[in-house]
Amino acid sequence: MTLPAAAFALLAAATIATAPTPVAAQKLDLSTITCKDFFEGSKDRLDFVIAWMLGYYTGEDDPPVLDFDKLKDRAGKLGAYCAANPTLGLITAADKVME
């Protein structure tokens, strides 16, 4: 392992080891959440999940690039679709607009 890689690994391990332990549950089953429930949740969680969804719906052969314009566009489309269909499951809605 090269020195920069070793330093990065050490820094990552130290960051994880010293991170505060959150009180809330650490699992979120997106298949059980409706659009309404999701968008009524915390903004931090909403942002994190939408960023995760962008990665989930990105093709395996696509470059490893986080496109913030695309993220904003897909979040807007998901929000509009969910506003029109609040009782729809979040994953069902995401399947319609994220791909």
Please report which confidence band the pLDDT of residue 26 belongs to, taking 50, 70 and 90 as the band edges: confident
Count of residues making up the chain: 99
Whether 67 is in a domain gets the answer yes
Whether 17 is in a domain gets the answer no
Query: In which domain, by residue range, is 50 found?
Result: 24-97
Please report which confidence band the pLDDT of residue 66 belongs to, taking 50, 70 and 90 as the band edges: confident
Whether 92 is in a domain gets the answer yes
Whether 10 is in a domain gets the answer no
Whether 28 is in a domain gets the answer yes
* Residue-wise burial string across 74-99, b where 16 or more C-beta atoms lie within 10 A, e elsewhere: bbeebbebbeeeeebbbbebbeebbe
Residue 86 belongs to domain with CATH number: 1.10.890.10
Mean pLDDT of the 70-82 span: 93
Which is more confident, 89 or 14?
89
Name the domain count of the chain: 1
